[in-house]
Amino acid sequence: MRLRAVWLTIEKEFLLIRRDRVGLFMLLLAPIAVIAAAGFSLAKIYGGETAPRGEYVVAVFNEDRGAVGQAILDAIESQPDLTVIHAKSRPETEELVRQRKLAVVGIIIEPGTTDAIMHGHSAQIAVYTDPVKYLQTIKIELTLSELCRQISIGAAARARSQTAARTRDFTDQLDQARDSAAQARSEAERLATQSDAARAEVAPKIRAHIESALSDARDRTKLALDTELDRMQRKIDADTATQQGKLNELKDYLSRLDVAHGQFDTWFAQLKQMAGSHAADIPPPPTFPTLPADLNLGGVNLAPVEDIRDARSRLDNALTIPRIDLNLPELPPTPKIPLINIPEVPVMDPSLAIPGTLGITAIDSTGKAIGPIAGFNAFDLQVPGFAVTFLLIGMLMGVSLALIDEHDWGTLERLRSAAAPLWTTLTGKLLARFVVGFIQMIVLFAAGYVLFGISLGRTPAALLMPAAAIAFAGAAFGLIVAGVGRTRDAVLPVGAIVIMTMAAIGGCWWPIDFEPLWMQQVALALPTTWAMRAFNDLMIRDLAASSALIPSSVNFGFGIIYTVIGVAIARRRFG
């Protein structure tokens, strides 16, 4: 019976919702309108691709007129977000921005940019800005920075490529030189080896030949000497024999003279002795003269003959050299070919040759680099954000105000007088509004997908989890508001303020990271925060479905707490 009352209440709620055109508008069309307005307006902030083409007008004056300036100009013109006005002068560029306000930013490509870049110097692009258009200026500045970066990267890449090519050529040449040197060294070593072998082979032959020649010369010399010596010997021998006879006679005379000399000495001594005292008076005997030494006495002087004999003997000895051990001096060694040390040229790393460029690349949830940070579709934030906001507004109207209306109309009293306790009405209303809120979220997400191309994440079905959780928490929160507010006039502003605050702090209208840290911590006490965390994880961060488990659980927890508090308050208020 009581479950039937709950079911009938749900049926009745759906009938009421169907008839409530204002409520339906607030549930579905109003959020879509607000989402569209917010999404298109704020797309610029989040860097998504929802901004129309040519959204930003820039005035450009190319004062450089060089290749780099033209490249910059071409790059600016190729940006889909930018519409270019070609200014004719620097003052006109400034005027287009600050006076006529036709352009968000004025860009001056300074003269000498090409020259500076070509010679490795830095160059600047001058920019006129309108401080009021800060966000647009930032966006364009980022675009220009990215352009400059791309151009720098391109130039560096080209230089790096050229350097690498030249390095490769140089390395090749060095390799060739190294090969040639190695070849030459090898050839020299081969020749040295051949030379050593030839020398080793020729030296004994030379020695033998020399020894043979020497031996022959010696023999012929000896023969000539022997012949001459023999002739001389024979002549000398003949002369000597003649002189020897004379000398022998002289020698005999001298021997006898020598004996007579002795005898005279002896006689003279005896004479002196017999002269007694008168010996001193005896005059000295005459002195016998000596034979002069160079007196050619013929055979008396035999010394040269002997010398000739000795000389012959010595010559014989000299010419009778047992064996000439020819000790030829060693040939100087084959000069060593010095090892040509051609240094190894390391393989040139282009990134070392030219300082590399530092870029940023985003990593997606699968760990894959996906290039520059791309921002996100603003509707990925606005659709869930405003869906949650209008869900809560729907709960304010559908639960809080509806309960107060039922109280004021007297239908609540009538139902309570019937066999339908208050809890059946509350349960039926909460369930109906939960289902409506859940369907509202699904419809708004579907509309967001069809109209604004929002991301539904890896697993679209996972979005149902946080959607159900916030629908439950929101419905239960509506019960609290209904119990606290005494009248419709009291509930409406207070409820609206509370809901708007919850939505704002919870990150429904802007990323919660925009908020100061203390506010982010306060936001943890709000279901909107957890709902947006789950939606952001699934839709923008592209995380797995499991990422929504904790935030959804927290919101179901909020829902349970709100229900307990709400029922207690409602029982006191309406019971």
Partner 1 sequence: MNSGPMIRAEELRKNYGERLALDGVSFTVNPGEIVGLLGPNGAGKTTTLSILSGVIAPDSGHALIAGYDLADAPRQSRHSLGLVPQSLALYPTLTALENLMFFGRMQGMAARDALKRARGLLEEVGLDDRADDVVEDFSGGMMRRLNIACGMMHYPAAILLDEPTVGVDPQSRGRIFAVVEAAAQAGGAILYSTHYMEEAERLCNRIILIDHGKIVAQGTDRELIALAGTEPRIEITTKKELPRGWSSGIEGVNELPWEVVDGFAAALTLHTLEQVPEVIRRAGELGDEVIEFHVHRPNLQDAFLKLTGHALRDSGSKTNYRDLPR
Q: Which helix (H) or strand (E) holds 91?
A: helix 90-98
Choice between 5 and 297, CB closer to partner 1: 5
By CB under 8 A, the residues from 387 to 446 that bind partner 1 are 408-411, 413-420
Q: Is 571 in the site for partner 1 (CB under 8 A)?
A: no
In whole angstroms, how close is the CB of 474 to partner 1 at the nearest point?
A: 22
In whole angstroms, how close is the CB of 434 to partner 1 at the nearest point?
A: 20
Choice between 1 and 295, CB closer to partner 1: 1
Distance of CA 512 to CAs 49, 77, 194, 518, 544, Å? Answer: 21, 35, 88, 11, 21
In whole angstroms, how close is the CB of 487 to partner 1 at the nearest point?
A: 14
Taking the CA atoms of 521, 524, 528 and 529 in sequence, report the sign of the dihedral they define: positive
Q: Report the distance separating Cα 139 and Cα 144, nearest Å.
A: 9
DSSP structure string for 144-174: HHHHHHHHHHHHHHHHHHHHHHHHHHHHHHH
Nearest to 534 by CA among 466, 480, 457, 460: 466
Check if the beta carbon of residue 38 is closer than 8 Å to that of residue 382. yes
Choice between 324 and 492, CB closer to partner 1: 492
Query: What is the total count of residues that contact partner 1 (CB under 8 A)?
Result: 22
**DSSP at 363:** B
- Going across the sheet that includes 125-129, the strands are 82-86, 56-62, 105-109, 125-129
Taking the CA atoms of 485, 488, 493 and 497 in sequence, report the sign of the dihedral they define: positive
Q: Report the distance separating Cα 387 and Cα 379, nearest Å.
A: 11
Q: Report the distance separating Cα 544 and Cα 127, nearest Å.
A: 43
In whole angstroms, how close is the CB of 20 to partner 1 at the nearest point?
A: 6
Choice between 96 and 415, CB closer to partner 1: 415
Give, in degrees to the nearest 5, the angle at Cα 487 between 485 and 489: 105
Beta pairing class for 125-129 and 82-86: unpaired
Check if the beta carbon of residue 343 is closer than 8 Å to that of residue 177. no
In whole angstroms, how close is the CB of 566 to partner 1 at the nearest point?
A: 20
In whole angstroms, how close is the CB of 433 to partner 1 at the nearest point?
A: 15
In whole angstroms, how close is the CB of 137 to partner 1 at the nearest point?
A: 51
Return the amino acid letter for 304: P
In whole angstroms, how close is the CB of 104 to partner 1 at the nearest point?
A: 50
* Residue that has been written with the tokens 């919850």 in this structure: 502
Distance of CA 195 to CAs 190, 326, 329, 338, Å? Answer: 9, 22, 16, 17
By CB under 8 A, the residues from 123 to 152 that bind partner 1 are none
* φ, ψ (nearest 5 deg) of residue 506: -75, 0
In whole angstroms, how close is the CB of 493 to partner 1 at the nearest point?
A: 23
Beta pairing class for 125-129 and 105-109: antiparallel
In whole angstroms, how close is the CB of 32 to partner 1 at the nearest point?
A: 23
State the burial class of residue 112 (Cβ atoms within 10 Å of its Cβ: 0-12, 13-18, 19+).
middle
Choice between 350 and 421, CB closer to partner 1: 421
In whole angstroms, how close is the CB of 41 to partner 1 at the nearest point?
A: 35
Choice between 156 and 492, CB closer to partner 1: 492
Choice between 27 and 505, CB closer to partner 1: 27
Choice between 124 and 411, CB closer to partner 1: 411
In whole angstroms, how close is the CB of 472 to partner 1 at the nearest point?
A: 25
Check if the beta carbon of residue 532 is closer than 8 Å to that of residue 507. yes
Choice between 19 and 119, CB closer to partner 1: 19
By CB under 8 A, the residues from 307 to 326 that bind partner 1 are none
Check if the beta carbon of residue 66 is closer than 8 Å to that of residue 113. yes
In whole angstroms, how close is the CB of 432 to partner 1 at the nearest point?
A: 13
In whole angstroms, how close is the CB of 563 to partner 1 at the nearest point?
A: 23
Selected range binding partner 1 among 1-9, 334-342, 493-501, 517-525, rule: CB under 8 A: 1-9
Nearest to 464 by CA among 481, 439, 428, 431: 439
**62 pairs with which residues across the strands?**
109
Choice between 359 and 410, CB closer to partner 1: 410
Q: Report the distance separating Cα 415 and Cα 574, nearest Å.
A: 12
String of contacts with partner 1 for each residue 3-42, x by CB under 8 A = -xx--x--xx--xx--xx----------------------
The SS3 call for residue 61 is strand
Choice between 169 and 408, CB closer to partner 1: 408
**56 pairs with which residues across the strands?**
82
End-to-end CA distance of the chain: 20
Choice between 341 and 417, CB closer to partner 1: 417
Name the site residues for partner 1 (rule: CB under 8 A).
Answer: 1, 4-5, 8, 11-12, 15-16, 19-20, 408-411, 413-420
